[in-house]
Amino acid sequence: MDVKIEESWKKVLNGEFDQPYFESLVKFVKDEYTQHTIYPPGKKMFNAFDSCPFDKVKVVILGQDPYHGPGQAHGLCFSVQDGIAFPPSLQNIFKELNNDLNIPAPKSGNLERWAHQGVFLLNATLTVRARQAGSHQNKGWETFTDAVVRKLAEEKENLVFLLWGAYAQRKGEFIDTNKHLVLKAPHPSPFSADRGFFGCRHFSKTNAYLEQHRKTPIEW
């Protein structure tokens, strides 16, 4: 199957695109786009991959679902398009960034600037119906994104995986911690950020590890 995705990822994931589960998933997603309002817009579905080629990945942040409100989702976890108000989790990410590295909250919640430096912002589920959180779960996306995480963990070395919340931690539980840095914290949502996301200092720890392995740190 010819999937419109960045070339290096296409090569790495080629075996997934012909799997029966992926064919079923494509049919489901196409039907959903014709019958409902789906986020992100179709051309942004693989934005995480298009913005951060496989060979450029240094850091992986795992999210769950795309945002399901108008104009928010654009294919990168936790990120919103320019001009959109910051959702609560993103506000808390910027708060921790300020606490950790004294970086003031940016004017835009668009995290493409991170992606272009090698931060791979992957949601477990890449699409969602408008105003229906979780509506595209258990349709095949999770199988696909599990394969993506596995490829990164097995084929690359010295990556940093930021696993925020129980869902992301389960998804990354097979990652070899001798080969990569795995940092875990509660989810940045207002319901859990006070339980250890604030004060986790993941941004400075990430950069220290990258520098230790002779990689350029991220300008958060």
**Which are the catalytic amino acids?**
65
The secondary element (H helix, E strand) that includes residue 162 is: strand 160-164
CA distance 60 to 27: 28
Under DSSP, is residue 69 helix (H, G, I), strand (E, B) or coil?
coil
Q: How far is CA 215 from the centre of its chain?
A: 21
On the 0-12 / 13-18 / 19+ scale of CB atoms within 10 A, 30 is: exposed
Which residues are within 8 A (CB) of 220 and not within 5 positions of it... i.e. 6 or more apart?
97, 101, 103, 114, 203
- C-alpha to C-alpha distances, 156 to 20, 140, 145, 146, 205, nearest whole angstrom: 27, 24, 16, 15, 19
